[in-house]
């Protein structure tokens, strides 16, 4: 009789926890509203990727083919560190003659997230440089990810053939995180 009580209690507890992987706009596989992967066993389980496993990645400098005055002449982007953290978004800007360096941290939803330089645009007439960084998931189908917010530290550099910009704005996933004025 006691065995039936224990089994019934275990079943009730398991049933009560069944909604923990639902579709509540953040509790699924990547927090983006997509359904969680099937819970049926797979023949060969995928390893869970941890943010510390991702190597330092560098996007090569990409100079434009024919630099014109006021145009961006090159960009580079490097992931410095990718670790579980608090999911913070921040950036600092350093200016030099013909060069702006941004050091920042962009957040990711889980350990499969990394970041890249989404764009760099310099409006020389307005004296405004905008540097946009985005975070994204590199997870393949059925790949497990460490479930933690990640802080992705990066270094971006933009070179240009024009006077230094009066204003530098840094965007993370489309949202402004830093604006520096001369």
Backbone angles phi, psi at 74, to 5 degrees: -175, 160
98-134 pLDDT tens trace: 999 999 999 999 999 999 999 999 999 999 999 999 9
Residue 153 forms part of a structural domain: yes
How much is the average pLDDT of 159-166?
93
Residue 146 forms part of a structural domain: yes
pLDDT of residue 50: 53
Dist CA 122 CA 167 (whole Å): 10
Burial of 155 (0-12, 13-18, 19+ CB in 10 A): middle
Residue 87 forms part of a structural domain: yes
Structure tokens at 26: 């953040």
How much is the average pLDDT of 166-176?
97
SS3 (DSSP) at 19 = helix
Number of domains the chain contains: 1
Helix or strand holding residue 95 (H, E)? strand 90-96
Dist CA 109 CA 87 (whole Å): 8
> 19 or 128, which is more confident?
128
Residue 101 forms part of a structural domain: yes
34-71 pLDDT tens trace: 444 444 444 444 444 555 544 444 444 444 434 444 58
- Cβ neighbours of residue 5 closer than 8 Å, sequence gap 6 or more: none
Residue 88 forms part of a structural domain: yes
Residue 24 forms part of a structural domain: no
Q: Is the pLDDT of residue 170 over 60?
A: yes
Residue 47 forms part of a structural domain: no
Its domain, for residue 113, covers 71-181
Residue 136 near residue 95, CB atoms below 8 Å: no
DSSP 27: S
Residue 13 forms part of a structural domain: no
Q: How many helices (H) and strands (E) does the chain have?
A: 1, 11
- Cβ neighbours of residue 45 closer than 8 Å, sequence gap 6 or more: 144
As a whole number of Å, the end-to-end CA separation of the chain is 78
Q: What is the share, in percent, of the chain residues with pLDDT greater than 90?
A: 53
Structure tokens at 108: 């990711």
């Amino acid at each position: 009789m006691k065995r039936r009580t224990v089994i019934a209690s275990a079943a009730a507890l398991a049933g009560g926890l069944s909604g923990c992987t639902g579709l509540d706009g953040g509790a699924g596989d990547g927090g983006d509203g997509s359904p969680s992967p099937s819970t049926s066993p797979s023949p060969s389980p995928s390893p869970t990727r941890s943010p510390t496993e991702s190597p330092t990645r560098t996007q090569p400098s990409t100079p434009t083919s024919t630099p014109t005055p006021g145009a961006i002449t090159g960009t580079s982007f490097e992931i410095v560190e990718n670790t579980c953290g608090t999911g913070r978004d921040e950036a600092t800007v350093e200016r030099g003659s013909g060069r702006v360096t941004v050091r920042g941290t962009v957040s990711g939803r889980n350990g499969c997230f990394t970041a890249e330089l989404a764009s760099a645009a310099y409006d020389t007439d307005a004296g405004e440089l905008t540097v946009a960084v985005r975070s994204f998931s590199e997870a393949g189908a059925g790949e497990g990810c460490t479930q933690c917010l990640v802080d992705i530290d990066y270094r971006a550099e933009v070179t240009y053939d024009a006077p230094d910009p009066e204003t530098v704005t840094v965007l993370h996933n489309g949202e402004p995180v830093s604006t520096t004025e001369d």
